[in-house]
Structure 1
Amino acid sequence: MRAARSLFGRRTRLRWIHLILGGALAMPYVLVGTTIVGPVSGSADVFGSFPLQLASFAVGLPLAAVTSLFPLTRPLESAAVRWLCGVDPDRLAGAPARTRGEKGRTAAWFTLHLGLGGIVAGMTLALPPFAAVLILLPVLSALRGDRLGMPEVFDHTWALLLSPVAGVLSLAALAGCAAGCGALLAHGAPRLLGPSAQDRLAAAEARAADLAVRNRLARELHDSVGHALSAVTLQAGAARRVLDSDPEFVREALAAIEDTTRRTVGELDAVLGVLRAGDAPGTAPAPTLAEDLDGLLRRTRADGRRVRATVAADPGKLPVLVSREAYRIVQEGLGNALRHGGERAAVDVRVAVTGGRLEITVENPLTGSRRPRPGGGHGLRGVADRARLLGGTATAGPAGGTWRLHVRLPIEGPAPGGPA
């Protein structure tokens, strides 16, 4: 069953069609070859001589190699191989050949395709009728009383009896030849039509750039939207608990929720701008430490949580990129404190410049509620990614009864520090 599938399976039949198409493509070149072989050999009927046909075929193949330099040859051949030979598209090049090496490999492939295709197509035209005659020869000879022009060996009875076997074997040989040539082309296609080292490098760079954009989107969404949802959840819970006893606090909490959600919508618009071809005009700018730290601290305190902030640096003198990433890091640290700290646990935030580096520390009491969530942990990984991309470091973990996030970011040039 496996042998029959390898000879007559769907994939083998498609590859057979691919070879026959190669034979059809070879015909114009063979006709051009006859115009050269005929005068040289002095024969007026090239097609009446099998050796002259082979000579015409041999003359036509170099002409095919020359015309394969046409730019669309490689894309068209790659498409045919993908659909008919079952080769993985990632192993084939869809762009026209540009370098000398690519053009040489394309010419070799086109010549091989037409050469094997011409042979298999010729066998496909000639062998089936011959095999049918061999299979039916005993019956036809009995009816007509002659050998139908077959060789004298078929005068013998044993030859007539074995002729059907020879016919079946010739058909099997045709199928085996087509299957073997199809497998050879499928095996050689990635080497001759596959992407070059430059193409693979360009594809790898494109995938890396796409992954970087996706990671950036994931970090921005987690830090902005995730922090806002945590803050809104805690503010709403605090307001619900004192709804009857402290209406003033409830009004402040609702105002903080409104402010948080409004600002988060703007940040979400900025994040979605990354999906467009460049940041679209009019998109809300990304928040920075210099412009938005006070608002972030105010919104975090809206549920009554004590947040002590010490800023021993001038955020306005930080590079914009460092200021933007530092804001997200502080935001994630506060978000972790909201999610994992106690309801009234104090949070300490320190921002300082030391030795040409911006140091950010966020601490909150270590409670038993800090357990990893299923699928969680993305925030700390995002902080580590931000720090690493800027050439800095990030550490997070328990330290003396507190949970401590400490990040160091290099600053381009001197950044004067001092209480702000």
Structure 2
Amino acid sequence: MRRAARALFGRVARRRWVHLILGGALAMPYVLVGSVVVGPLVGADDVFTDLPLQLLSFLVGLPLAAVTALFPLTRPMSVAAVRALCSVDGGALADGPPRSRAARGRTVAWFTLHLGFGGVLSGMTLALPPFAVALIALPFLPGLRDSKPALPGVLRHGWALVLAPVAGALMLVALAAVVALASGLLARWAPALLGPTPADRLAAAEARAADLAVRNRLARELHDSVGHALSAVTLQASAARRVLDSDPDFVREALAAIEDTTRRTVGELDAVLGVLREAGDASDTAPAPTLADDLGGLLRRTRAAGLDVSARADVDPATVPPLVSREAYRIVQEALSNALRHAGTPLELRLVRDGDALRITAENALPAHPVAPARAGGGHGLSGVADRARLLGGSATAGPDDSGTWRLDVRLPLTGPAPKGPTAP
């Protein structure tokens, strides 16, 4: 009994009832237009005084509602109403206007059903409850039986009068049952008629992929630029603290290197955060570092942090295409940062032309004891290097060899079509 009462009058049932009444309210303008058509055809001055003419006006107005359902905002508004009132899983419904003819057809079907069911059941909701309440009160209010309202004479005497409250209560229950059935059908049909089509799913997947690409791009840039700078500053500050009393000249050099590193990192951070700007002016974003302009400073700051780096470039950095130059700078930065954080042994860096590609190699001996333990949640630098190389159509390998040397080998094409994936700013 409790389950049946909840199904007919519970919170979900009441909200779905409101959804049907909303459909009836939306149907009223179309009924008015239908009455303008029906009235002159049947010669009636007021169609709303005759129930059959009201129903006929309603039937004439529904096709007009179907036509207006082609308006692009119909589906978003219908989906919003269903999510708010019908207790339907929001993930089963589509977002945005329909993108295909089939989706528009399903939206038309939903809108017509909503207004059709809503119009009929809203009329029943307005008419039946007052009559049912009158029946329930009839035995207890003699004045109501003797008044002018057009109650059937049989209801004024005998068993009919005694059973009138039962009939009134059954009318209310029947109305609630019909509403629950109709609203339940609409809730069941909503995912099929308002759910995402293959085109909607493809658009959503593309949007998620684009968002993920931007997130990965931002994370990679922050790791390579800010992560490298923080590692260098930490080691420089640590070294300066150890020799603060014994070697003031070194401390001054370390502080100058820290100042230079942090100043430059602020500019790089501005460039990285430019990824988040939806439509920013390029002049507002600091230029990303390149091999031609910034490799020397990167090597100088890394050496100031205490890492012995020998670098050899058999290719003129100025001849490297800008996109490749930017990605190559980040790859070199990651190689130096890894050696600085985890090895501390001398590193040999080489940049050479290998046919139509730029080849970057970085080698250093593996230490007996790592300089710093691995960070929780770290370990994404080498995957970022691989991503950068792949986006340019190149390749990257990294790992120790049998001689105890860690080797990073990256090959970046210098010619060919621009990459299809997202690239660094």
Residue equivalent to 1:417: none
Q: Structure 1: how far apart are the matches of 2:184 and 2:167?
A: 25
**Range moving further from structure 2, 358-367 or 228-237:** 358-367
- Cα offsets for 1:327-366 (capped at 9, x unmatched): 1011111111111114xx2122222222333222223332
Residues 43 and 288 of structure 1, relative CA distance in 2, 3 Å threshold: closer
CA contact (8 A) 2:237 2:254 kept: yes
Q: Confirm or deny that 1:25 pairs with 2:26.
A: yes
- Cα offsets for 1:219-268 (capped at 9, x unmatched): 11111111111111111212222223323222222222222112111211
Residue equivalent to 2:6: 5
**Range moving further from structure 2, 19-28 or 214-223:** 19-28
Residue equivalent to 1:350: 350
CA contact (8 A) 1:286 1:324 kept: yes
- Cα offsets for 1:261-312 (capped at 9, x unmatched): 1211121122122222245315321111222222211111113321122323
Residues 49 and 399 of structure 1, relative CA distance in 2, 3 Å threshold: same
- Cα offsets for 1:22-42 (capped at 9, x unmatched): 212323333443444455456
Q: Structure 2: how far apart are the matches of 1:304 and 1:145?
A: 106
For structure 2, the 5+ residue unaligned runs are 417-425
Q: How many percent of aligned residue pairs carry the same amino acid?
A: 69
> Given the alignment, which residue of 406, 409, 414 partners 1:411?
414
Residues 365 and 172 of structure 1, relative CA distance in 2, 3 Å threshold: farther
Residue equivalent to 2:423: none
Size of the aligned set, in residue pairs, is: 409
Residue 283 of structure 2 aligns to a residue in which SS? coil
Residue 358 of structure 2 aligns to a residue in which SS? strand
CA contact (8 A) 2:138 2:144 kept: no
1:59 shift after superposition = 1.8
Residue equivalent to 1:324: 326
The normalised TM-score by structure 2 is: 0.84
Q: Structure 2: how far apart are the matches of 1:142 and 1:272?
A: 79
For structure 1, the 5+ residue unaligned runs are 414-420
Q: Structure 1: how far apart are the matches of 2:202 and 2:412?
A: 31
Counterpart residue type for residue 324 of structure 2: V
Q: Structure 2: how far apart are the matches of 1:38 and 1:267?
A: 74
Q: Confirm or deny that 1:252 pairs with 2:269.
A: no
Residue 310 of structure 2 aligns to a residue in which SS? strand
Counterpart residue type for residue 266 of structure 2: V
> Given the alignment, which residue of 307, 313, 336 partners 1:334?
336
Counterpart residue type for residue 270 of structure 1: A
The normalised TM-score by structure 1 is: 0.84
Listed as ranges, the matches of 1:42-53 within 5 Å are 46-47=47-48, 49-53=50-54
**Range moving further from structure 2, 379-388 or 80-89:** 80-89
CA contact (8 A) 2:145 2:156 kept: no
- Cα offsets for 1:176-209 (capped at 9, x unmatched): 2222322333343444445554454444333332
Residue equivalent to 1:216: 217
CA contact (8 A) 1:312 1:352 kept: yes
- Cα offsets for 1:104-127 (capped at 9, x unmatched): 333323221211011110111122
- Cα offsets for 1:77-123 (capped at 9, x unmatched): 3443343334566634444x676545433332322121101111011
Q: Structure 2: how far apart are the matches of 1:399 and 1:128?
A: 86
Residue equivalent to 2:392: 390
Listed as ranges, the matches of 1:138-177 within 5 Å are 138-139=139-140, 149-150=151-152, 152=154, 157=159, 162-177=163-178
CA contact (8 A) 2:75 2:194 kept: yes
CA contact (8 A) 1:92 1:189 kept: no
RMSD: 3.2
Residues 404 and 4 of structure 1, relative CA distance in 2, 3 Å threshold: farther
Residue equivalent to 1:60: 61
Counterpart residue type for residue 323 of structure 1: S
**Range moving further from structure 2, 277-286 or 332-341:** 277-286
Q: Structure 2: how far apart are the matches of 1:311 and 1:405?
A: 16
Q: Structure 2: how far apart are the matches of 1:60 and 1:339?
A: 75
Residues 395 and 12 of structure 1, relative CA distance in 2, 3 Å threshold: farther
Residue 393 of structure 2 aligns to a residue in which SS? coil
Residue equivalent to 1:85: 86
Residues 128 and 315 of structure 1, relative CA distance in 2, 3 Å threshold: same
Residues 70 and 347 of structure 1, relative CA distance in 2, 3 Å threshold: closer
Counterpart residue type for residue 325 of structure 2: S
CA contact (8 A) 2:94 2:200 kept: no
Listed as ranges, the matches of 1:123-202 within 5 Å are 123-139=124-140, 149-150=151-152, 152=154, 157=159, 162-194=163-195, 197-202=198-203
Q: Structure 2: how far apart are the matches of 1:254 and 1:230?
A: 14
